[in-house]
Structure 1
Amino acid sequence: MFAACCCSDITSPAESDVMIERVPANGAMAKIPQEAADSDVKQEMAPEDVFFRVSLKKTSPQDKLGVHIAGLTDMDAIRIKLIKAGMLETWNQENPNKEVITGDLIVQVNSTVGNSAELQAAIAASDHLDLTILRKL
């Protein structure tokens, strides 16, 4: 009388090594510290927004992130305007499924959440960078 579908869209692990998970904005906020949840970032998010992490390590004082950025006055983030030679370009080559692209927002650096100047200071001060990236879809 009632038919049930036995087919599914599940892919095997061999078909996909790394995937960026799309998380609804209200579910994603649980992964961000309370300071970020209270910031303007929360007000600007849409249900399609995606968060992911990028971990980088500076191996010499000459290592640079390799981006042109725009500090945003209307929200606590750094907008990536251009990716050039540097650590993020290397990350993108090594992690094509978690590539950082023009327009992505850096919303957290290690445990620092705040305005553009605070995020830039955290990038400059640390040899290990755990970046939280927000991609608005």
Structure 2
Amino acid sequence: AKAPPLPPRVEPVAAQVTVPQPRQDGAEFEVTLVKEAPDQPFGLMNLPTSDGSALLVTGVHQNLLIGEWNRRHPDRAVREGDVIVAVNGFSGNAEDMRSMLCRVDRVRLNVQSAYSPTGRLTRA
């Protein structure tokens, strides 16, 4: 009996699957929040860093805009201890950044994650 013919050679195909990567500790990422009403809060509690150049995230309201962002973008979730290094492109002065957060309906935040690659909390 003859052996069945070999199937034609099939080249492996690399599947392109994008899986959200857990955010890199110590990395900087961007967050964009847009208010639906002028009096709607972003939901970020913050304090100036000790040198006054950035904002330390001291709390995140999960039921407000930032909580919605965190659910939609787990790879770029803002957590307590993260540092906001710029607000709408402005950086270097925490008080100016805080007042901008109060005045605008759309905000773009540059956020430095709280943990360094070594896993230790970085103090800004």
Larger Rg: 2
Alignment partner of 1:111 out of 52, 71, 89: 89
Q: What's the counterpart of residue 91 of structure 1?
A: 69
Alignment of 1:1-137 (within 5 A): 13-17=16-20, 20=23, 22=24, 49-84=26-61, 85-135=63-113, 136-137=115-116
TM-score of the aligned structures, taking structure 1 as reference length: 0.64
Q: 1:73 deviation in Å?
A: 3.1
In the alignment, the residues of structure 2 paired with residue 121 and residue 70 of structure 1 have an alpha-carbon distance, to the nearest angstrom, of: 12
TM-score of the aligned structures, taking structure 2 as reference length: 0.70
Verify the 8 A CA contact 1:112 1:122 in the aligned structure 2: no
**Counterpart of 1:60 in structure 2: which amino acid?**
A
1:91 aligns to what SS in structure 2?
Answer: helix
- Identical-residue share of aligned pairs (%): 22
Q: 1:13 deviation in Å?
A: 4.3
**Counterpart of 1:14 in structure 2: which amino acid?**
V
1:119 aligns to what SS in structure 2?
Answer: helix
Structure 2 residue runs of 5 or longer lacking an equivalent are 1-13, 117-124
**Counterpart of 1:55 in structure 2: which amino acid?**
T
Verify the 8 A CA contact 1:108 1:133 in the aligned structure 2: yes
In the alignment, the residues of structure 2 paired with residue 68 and residue 17 of structure 1 have an alpha-carbon distance, to the nearest angstrom, of: 26
**Counterpart of 2:48 in structure 1: which amino acid?**
G
1:121 aligns to what SS in structure 2?
Answer: helix
Runs of 4+ in 1 over 4 A off after TM superposition: none
2:70 aligns to what SS in structure 1?
Answer: helix
CA RMSD of aligned residues (A): 2.2
Q: 1:67 deviation in Å?
A: 2.2
Structure 1 residue runs of 5 or longer lacking an equivalent are 1-10, 23-47
More helix by share: 1
